[in-house]
Structure 1
Amino acid sequence: MSRYFAQVEYKGTNYKGFQKQKNSKQTIQQKIEFALSKVANEKISVVCAGRTDAGVHATNQIVHFDSKSKREKKSWISGTNRYLPNDISLINIGKTSDDFHARFDAKKRTYIYIIKNSEIPLGIEFDNFLWIRSRLNEKQMNKAAKKLLGEQDFSSFRASGCQSKSVIRRIYKANVTRKGNYLIFEVTANAFLLNMIRIIVGTLIKVGKNEITPEDFEDIIKKRDRKLAGRTIEAKGLYFVGPEYNNLDYKVNKVFVNELD
């Protein structure tokens, strides 16, 4: 029996999230396990680094699984992709230590949220980004984002259905930048609460529209009251860029942000 890690990218639009569900086959996990099981010729179960919600995309989801089967790397990748739908792709795979854990060994996780800020509505990009017509002030948004840094109580950005025992999270990086008509919010933390990023973005948009100030944003964090924060924004602009490990060396698939203008 060997333990493997696999690197997967997917478009989350047509799925009910990563985690397998009893009443649905439309999850990322179900599709990956089905494809790997076909190649391995045995039942495969995977554990992921971050359980993305319905509609959320990923460029570097990491999973681990155990298998008795012996396959060359090329055979694992080509065989698995043969059984995966077109919006899910296995891009890398390899053996790892028997005690490696995709979720618990992840020290940091990075997400980006992309907004298309233009007078022209989305067409072909509809499922990829959030469209906001009115001009957003990215400098003020970035100033507000810096208030997120450090270890804090993020109750104000926690969905009511969140089952996490702790609301304390440490954010290492939080930036809002503009590339032409696109605004990119990038955030790195040790972990996130349910819908945390989408609520943060909904609140940052209020800053960008000059409805609240960066100081108001900081006050919302300190008051720990979900009712004071902005709405939970749509999932379609959210991308899981990937985890960071001390015990796994993998090449990060470069997100397509560099191609935006």
Structure 2
Amino acid sequence: MLLSSPAPVPAPTTQRLALGVSYNGRAYDGWQSQPSGRTVQDQLELALTRFSGQPETINTLCAGRTDAGVHGLMQVVHFDTALERPENAWVRGTNSFLPDDIAVQWARQVPHRFHARASARSRRYAYVLHESPVRPSVEAGQVGWVFRPLSLEAMQEAAQTLIGEHDFTSFRAARCQAHSPVKHLLRVDISRRSSYWRFEFEASAFLHHMIRNIMGCLIAIGNGNRPPAWMAEVLQARSRDAAAPTFSPDGLYFLGPVYDADFGLPERTPAFDWLP
């Protein structure tokens, strides 16, 4: 008599969760996991794993990696898990294992077709700059700094040169791993409140150091060292040597990705109201 082979054990049903995460990046070596363990991703995955109580590490995929010293107001990640918990329990439970400078803002169950990076229609960043004869103190590490007055009109004129789809090689770091330097910059908004400037960028995607290199050029134009027309020359040169030095990461904030409305994800967190 032939014995029938045992029936295959069905894989546990998993759900896909998306989280919105905010963090002060000053103490970390950027977002992406590194052997040092001093990254935001390392801290988040450790907290998620401890909260889950499972032996397997929970691995996350993010919407966009940030560099050392760069902050996040709404980084979005996703992961799959068989563990069933209410959405607010994922927020409170994970936060109980996170350091004070990282916090999960929201959790949502999403369809398995959702991908934090691939589903993003665009990404948004803001750079906050303090114009003052004296360097920042209380807000050190949270704002960039210039001591020379800046011209709004000159910077706005220069920024318009960058709008649209271009080869942004001149604003690309040497270590950039993007397959193509061609990106579509959707908007650059520049505003001022008291002594604080806010530069907001939205694009299909960004190259490594792209915003900090653009900021270096905008400031050189804003303080009169270069004319607005210089930005077009830098863009057309397609050479990193043509642009200004990379500006400080201190005032750079990842505002988060933009997704189709049918995913039902928040577009902002309360931290948006704190940002100047």
CA contact (8 A) 2:15 2:82 kept: yes
Structure 1: where are the runs of 5+ without partners?
none
Q: CA deviation at 1:253?
A: 1.3
Q: Distance in 2 between matches of 1:255 and 1:135?
A: 28
**Which residue of 1 is the match for residue 58 of structure 2?**
44
Question: Is residue 269 of structure 2 the alignment partner of residue 253 of structure 1?
Answer: yes
Q: Work out the number of aligned pairs and report it.
A: 259
- Give the SS at the match of 1:83: coil
Q: Cα offset for 1:257?
A: 6.1
The structure-2 alpha-carbon separation of the partners of 1:217 and 1:254, relative to structure 1 and needing over 3 Å to count, comes to farther
1:76 matched to 2:97:
no
Picking from 203, 225, 231, the partner of 1:217 is 231
Is residue 23 of structure 2 the alignment partner of residue 10 of structure 1?
yes
Q: Is the 8 A contact 1:150 1:172 kept in 2?
A: yes
The letter of the residue matching 2:168 is F
3-state SS of paired residue (2:96): helix
**2:36 — aligned with what?**
24
Shift of 1:41: 1.7
TM-score for both structures, normalised by structure 1: 0.96
% identical equivalent positions: 37
CA RMSD of aligned residues (A): 1.3
Q: 1:259 offset after TM fit, Å?
A: 5.9
Distance 1:74 1:193 in 2: 34
Cα deviation, residue 78, structure 1 = 1.0
* Counterpart selection for 2:114 from 100, 103, 107: 100
Tell me how far 1:66 sits from its aligned partner.
0.7
User: In the aligned structure 1, how far is the partner of 2:63 from the partner of 2:274?
Assistant: 24
Do the aligned residues in 2 keep the contact of 1:114 with 1:238 (CA within 8 Å)?
A: yes
Distance 1:217 1:53 in 2: 24
C-alpha distance in structure 2 between counterparts of 1:150 and 1:256, whole Å: 26
8 Å CA contact 2:87–2:109 kept in 1: the answer is no
| Residues 209-236 of structure 1 deviation map (CA, whole Å, 9 limit, x = unaligned) | 1111111111111111211111101111
Contact 1:170 1:190 in 2 (8 A): yes
Say if 2:179 is the partner of 1:165: yes
- C-alpha distance in structure 1 between counterparts of 2:21 and 2:275, whole Å: 20
TM norm structure 2: 0.91
Q: Are the aligned partners of 1:142 and 1:177 in contact in 2 as well (CA < 8 Å)?
A: no
Confirm or deny that 1:116 pairs with 2:130.
yes
Q: Tell me how far apart the structure 2 counterparts of residues 257 and 132 of structure 1 sit (CA, whole Å).
A: 24
Please, which runs of 5 or more residues in structure 2 have no aligned partner? 1-13
Structure 1 residues 254, 31: CA separation in 2 closer, same or farther (over 3 Å shift)?
A: same
Aligned partner (choices 153, 160, 163) of residue 146 of structure 1: 160
Q: Where do residues 158-237 of structure 1 align in structure 2 (5 Å cutoff)? A: 158-237=172-251
